Structure 1
């Protein structure tokens, strides 16, 4: 089992990459569209006037369609996984209270420094850092559930529930 720090580090990195994941979804949609066009544009082999013995072997065209269709299935699977993660993160951010959402967005997602955030919000850097940590933990819980609350290899009050 991972410790809390690993969950929080992963969550913070996921938040940093959130915008890029949304762009990646657009790339995946375009890739899927292109594969669909490629599959539909493949020409079937015709055997007009040629005697052909039927067997279980496939044609080169069929093999190519299968390869492209498998690539499309991979794209669909990757899209589903990425969309699910983006949706979880979006929901988790939306469920934060206003100040936590602002701090998290400014520091982690937009990459602003603490001085700039201090200028925009009526809190000290120390308070802002604490709010950022609380927000990241809240998002981590939304992503990973109650396991984030447990310390590695130690009994907690949570284990007594």
Structure 2
């Protein structure tokens, strides 16, 4: 799996300073995708060592979000598990273009998971008509649940508080 670039972002995961890692090789081919270049097989290998370097270069982050990786969810899960074990202070997110969570993903390795392809007439996460959903993974005792927090992106929500 390869990544093309990274960005420090403040809106992908609520209340987090997130290192967003843009992963190439996306198989989703969503019409109107704002990052269609990520469908190409380009970039540098995303290994555990590369993750360590990115963390060291971006002190102050509170979360890491894998932006893509739908071609190899098993490897995304391995990287998330690595982060959970070695950097328990960081929240872990995954932005997927899939409709359903792949069985290779263990939700216990994540704090946030976004599901859904981009559909232009439904808009992105900040559009109340979006088909995309952002979930906070909630762990209580022996159960894991998904709390839909997509509403946090709607502009009216921010204006009313």
Range into which the TM-score falls when normalised by the shorter chain: under 0.3
Could you tell me the TM-score, scaled by structure 2's length? 0.22
Larger radius of gyration: 1
Higher strand fraction (1 or 2): 2
Could you tell me the TM-score, scaled by structure 1's length? 0.22
RCO comparison, higher one (Cα < 8 Å, 6+): 1
